[in-house]
Amino acid sequence: MAGKLLIIGFGPGSFEHITKRAREAIQESEIIIGYNTYVDLIAGLLSEQQVVRTGMTEEVSRAQEAVRQAKLGKKVAVISSGDAGVYGMAGLVYEVLMEQGWKREGGVEVEVIPGISAVHSSGSLLGAPIMHDSCTISLSDHLTPWELIAKRVEAAGMADFVIALYNPRSGRRTRQIVETQRILLKYRSPLTPVGIVKSAYRDRQHTVVTTLEDMLNHDIGMLTTIIIGNSATKLYEGLMITPRGYQRKYTLSAETQPLKPHQRLKSEAEPWALEQLEDEADFDESFEAYDEEGELIEEDESVDNAEPALLKSSPQAQSSNSLQLAMEALQLVSQGKDSPALAFDSKLIATQAIFEFAVSPGIANKKMSAAQLCALGEIVGDRGDIEYSPHHQLIVRVQTDDPNRITSELSALGLLLSPIGDVAQIKACDFCNLEKGDSIPYAEAIHNRIGNLEVPKELKIGFNGCGMACYGAVQQDIGIVYRKEKFDLFLGGKTVGRNAHAAQPVAEGIEPNELVDLVTRIVERYKKEGHPNERFHKFFKRVKEIEGYRHQEAVGFVIENALCGD
């Protein structure tokens, strides 16, 4: 029986702002999947549910795990703060479903439960800043090219939108908010009101009302939402108020209005409306009239008498995408002004493809030839980059529309290519410059069987060709040491952190013909039963036994939390 996916936006985080349906959905779910901080925020609503929690940048694994559990018949809640459909998990879950060929009819049921987004919760604390046309822009360029973000900021500034900025600054991303301010100051007064809200409706809520020129002098981080007013936004009693435009028709201080109710929607009361503007010459000159066949109607032909005629910016206007239409509109708005019209760049519609992979000379070989290095440098060029990793690999990132050509060329030179991310990797020694090579075929056999296999969290399988274990196989998630023509096995090493520890020795003297199958079974069980983002040593501790090998607690010492809070 198919399960159900409940994609829940629980609002800013305070219980009183979680909707009734969101509470019900959380409580009726069997599994809760979410980012660590979000799970903590709703902890008071949890009872017996299984909880799968992950860290930052693990959104894809959360979505994949949610879909997998739902297909097993579970009722799964995927939680987001704010609204799940605004920079939340709703779109990503649907993308994963689309990749798997999901159909609404017969597939797992999906319910998206709306919540109060950050723009609205922050706006309520600032007064009424988003009473008129507005937009939201995320300044995070981890998934979207900065050039495209800058274009959107430019367009929003020129079009006089009230702008809500999400993800304005992080520890690593500090220039984006500076560039955004610089762009907006081209179109707006330095005294434009700006509201800065941190942790709206949470324990550490902090609100500042300032100006566009002074905004960078205040604390801005990942928990901050910034609302920048438009040209009409006013400051009053420490609040931001954006007029809707009622003053054009109404006298707000009068009890009796000059226009009676039946007069308020008449054309003479709205000289700024589209129908009235069509009679003005400067508006007519901005467009040309085309018939249904796309042919230009000559000046002596009456547009009023040509029933099928349409006003368009070009005969192909109806097939233009929304970004093109928006850019054309902005160009019309900017005519006659000092502000330059924006040029439309179709290259910015989609994120440019960046091919990221790991490359090494082989499982045992640690030496690269000059020809291999030259070919790699030529492929990467000026726009790519190569990063050295501590795992006997080079990480390569290059913009390309043809990754198959790159992989074919490098593979032909004898290089070993691997994906980046949560995959199994054989991390072997150099076998004393290949002089102690008796166990190399077993390392290569393990790589051929499970190397690059997708797993819940990156998995390093250390392999040493003699009892010296000088490459530290016993420190890895899984360690294999060749000794006296047989193998010793170690499980559950913790390679990082102040409480790092070696793997637990679980077996000695494993026969060579048993090794590959044994390691494959261990890794395949981890792939099947591990939680998203769960490291192997935590998985071993949770399941207690793998292939008859029982987990034992590592003897360690108590570590006090660092003063910095890390």
pLDDT digits (tens, 9 = 90+) for 35-94: 998 999 899 899 889 999 888 888 999 999 999 999 999 999 999 999 999 999 999 999
What is the predicted pLDDT for the residue at 278? 61
* pLDDT in the model for residue 14: 87
Please give the residue that has the higher pLDDT: either 106 or 352: 106
Greater confidence (129 vs 318) lies with 129
- Dist CA 256 CA 260 (whole Å): 9
- pLDDT of 119 strictly over 50: yes
| pLDDT > 70? residue 177 | yes
- Give the model confidence (pLDDT) of 150-171 as tens digits: 999 999 999 999 999 999 998 8
- Name beta bridge partners: 198: 206, 224
**pLDDT at position 482:** 94
Q: Which helix (H) or strand (E) holds 162?
A: strand 162-166
Backbone angles phi, psi at 320, to 5 degrees: -70, 150
* Dihedral angle, C-alpha 3, 9, 14, 18, nearest 10 °: -70
Q: Does residue 52 contact residue 31 with C-beta atoms inside 8 Å?
A: yes
Q: What are phi and psi of 60, to 5 degrees?
A: -65, -45
Q: Using alpha carbons, list the distances in angstroms from residue 33 to 21, 55, 86, 109, 210.
A: 17, 11, 18, 17, 38
The alpha carbon dihedral of 480, 482, 484, 486 has a sign of: positive
pLDDT (tens digit, 9 = 90+) per residue, 529-545?
Answer: 998 888 999 999 999 99
What is residue 325's predicted lDDT score, i.e. its pLDDT? 46
pLDDT surpassing 70 at residue 261: yes
Gap between the Cα atoms of 483 and 466, Å rounded: 5
What pLDDT is attached to residue 249? 63
Write out pLDDT tens, residues 328-374. 444 544 444 444 444 444 444 444 568 889 999 998 888 999 999 99
Strand partners, 236: 239
pLDDT at 54: 85
Predicted local distance difference test score (pLDDT) of residue 469: 86
Contacts (Cβ under 8 Å, ≥6 apart) of 285: none
Residue labelled with tokens 């190399």: 440
pLDDT at 299 (0 to 100)? 44
Over the chain, what is the mean pLDDT? 84
pLDDT band at 310 (very low <50, low <70, confident <90, very high): very low
Q: How confident is the model at residue 272 (pLDDT cuts 50, 70, 90)?
A: low
Contact 291, 308 (CB under 8 A): yes
Length of the chain: 566
Q: How large is the average pLDDT for residues 394-423?
A: 89
